[in-house]
Structure 1
Amino acid sequence: MINNAPDIHLSQRAHGWRIAPAHALAAAAVCWFGFAIVTFAVWTGKSETLDSAGLLFWRRGATLVPAGPPWLLEAVRDVTSLGGVLLRNLFASGAVAALLFLRLRREAVLLAATIAGGWIVNTLVKLAIGRPRPLIVTHLTEAGGQSFPSGHSFNSAVVFIAIALAFAAMSPRRSVRWTLVSLAIALSLAVAFSRVWLGVHFPSDVAAGWLGGAGWTFLATAILHRPAKAVAAGADETLERMTPGVNSRADGPRC
């Protein structure tokens, strides 16, 4: 006897939970309001004092080297690499593939759309502001392009929080879902903090980047859910027409 009940149960409960649209929109509104405040401060030059103090806070001596043992620098570089283009895209691709393997197509489409949209939003804002990178301290890692908002901060918030929300749908327990989202927030904040520690971004860059990335993720979760569901449903119908009988096992257990 072949029993597919666990697989069915996973599919049903995974599609039975999502963050409430009202909660997602409220979180997005808070984040984007914070983003607007930071952007206004940067645009009017009101952030300069705090930005300089933030960059110099953990620097010591005439050469302004970071405080702490040598291994700490390597550890911070490792953390910042988690928000880099290569690892970030590997995590995102692996998550989308895993969701498709689990037949959670709605979550996979929503995750891919959220990440792609976030990259576009961050790029447009960078081009609009055009802020150069800080020259107050030595850069301790390679960094190019415009400084505001921090791409590492913005995109790591998008990728990690969106992945957490997608996989949180697999658990009926609120504590598990909160743990996943909290860990994603903490990890993306660590990436943001590392950019200032390494001297390649002002504090306002990473604050705006993280707030914008989190804000976009929650906004996309609310507004892109229905389009993602429609795309996933269309893909299911196409697959059923191409491979009749293959997905019939999802209708119930077989012997």
Structure 2
Amino acid sequence: MTTALITGASSGIGEEFARQLAARGADLVLVARDREALDALAARLGAVYRVDCEVLVADLAKPRHVSKVVDRLVDPDRPVEVLVNNAGFGLPLAFERNDIQDEARHLAVHVEAPMRLSHAALEGMLARGHGRIVNVASVAAFIPRSTYGAVKSWVVSFSRWANGAYRSRGVVVTAVCPGFTHTNFHARLGLPPGQEGVPSFMWLDASTVVGQALRDCARGRAVSIPSLRYEVMVAAARLLPGLATRIARRGR
């Protein structure tokens, strides 16, 4: 039986990864800061899909909490076959006005934590000759969008390299790059629905994002960009840097 560990599992895209993996028969290790939300999700998914759901409360901005998750990943008696690095949060785009400690936490959660967790997971996966690592990035990785785009660019670059390095040894590493997705991500930035400054046609559903991500990972792809419209947008941004800059100013 496959076990999947998912960070940021209590809501949004992380919760959808948990649901879709449970529907495929995977036991789950659910990681997030909110124990109440994790317990409720574990009970719900366990009852519906008859899978085991373990709860691990951790704030990935704190090194000792990251160490707890690392310890779970390297446990030889309870191997993890799928790691989903999804935990993250957004900040206002005006870097010069942001608190630098918030920016440091942002960097730790989006870059250092997935790097450490991927390193921990790879040991067992490579020894067994199979495994999957899914790193949730963003189309912001391909456009200049403050430090959020910068950290997601790291995720994509790392995933591309790691997939090339480890796929032949049975471990696929995929960066998932959704565009604007209906979750509570923007609400946590204080933006009520409809006030994000994003046209309705640009929004995706979490179920679509996760479904495409799992299919692309199964195919061994290094990068997954859900939806044709965002694939076109990324291609256009590469060819037309000025357009990329204008796109980056949309939304919050």
TM band (smaller chain) = under 0.3
Higher RCO structure, 1 or 2 (CA under 8 Å, sep 6+):
1
Structure whose CA Rg is larger: 1
**Is the helix fraction higher in 1 or 2?**
1
TM-score (norm 1): 0.27
* TM-score w.r.t. length of structure 2: 0.28
